[in-house]
Amino acid sequence: MLVIGLGVLGIGVAVALILAAFNQNLMYFYSPSEVARGEAPGNRAFRLGGMVVKGSVQRDPQDLTVRFAVTDFAQQRTVTYKGILPDLFREGQGIVAIGQLDPGGVFVASEVLAKHDENYMPPEVAQALKDGKAQAGMKP
């Protein structure tokens, strides 16, 4: 009984230590602030996450190239991407882009994923919240 208890305890501690060691690698994406502080890898691909800045999306009329900025409300980073964006991609939406920084500090994405938040509500309620009129049983 004692052996099993100690075994479980030991493995629990081992898992905790492994998780602590891998903490950085489990981070799915870096924020623009972390990139600005130079914490993101410079020479290989990484993921950049943040909100698409309102009014920043520019589409190239010739091809599928899109240029936009992502923010964590402290820092911004310009992203370029050539390809088809997910349905949820829009200004003000959280996204995760996979790619690399070019020498000019622009993030060149090879893939863009949309991240939705934990809020669910009917469109009318969302509109009402936007207009600041009603709370209608929802916390914003």
Partner 1 sequence: MNFAFLHKYASLMHAYRLSRTLTPWLAGLTLALFAWGLVSGLVFAPADYQQGESFRIMYVHVPSAWMSMFVYVTMAAAGGAALVWKLKLAEIVARACAPLGASFTFLALVTGSLWGKPMWGTWWVWDARLTSELILLFLYLGVMALHGAFDDRRAAARAGAVLSLIGVVNIPIIHFSVEWWSTLHQGATVTKFDKPSIHIDMLIPLLVMIAAFQCYFFWNLLVRVRAQILEYDRNAAWVRELDLPTRA
Which residues of this protein are in contact with partner 1, per CB under 8 A? 1, 4, 7-8, 11-12, 15-16, 19, 23, 26-29, 31, 49, 85-89, 96, 111-127, 136-139
Q: In the complex with partner 1, which residue's Cβ is closer, 61 or 123?
A: 123
Q: Which of 130, 111, 110 is CA-nearest to residue 119?
A: 130
First to last CA, the chain: 51
Closest CB 90 distance from partner 1, rounded Å: 9
Q: In the complex with partner 1, which residue's Cβ is closer, 27 or 108?
A: 27
Rounded distance between C-alpha atoms, residue 13 and residue 10, angstroms: 5
Q: In the complex with partner 1, which residue's Cβ is closer, 22 or 105?
A: 22
Amino acid at 54: K
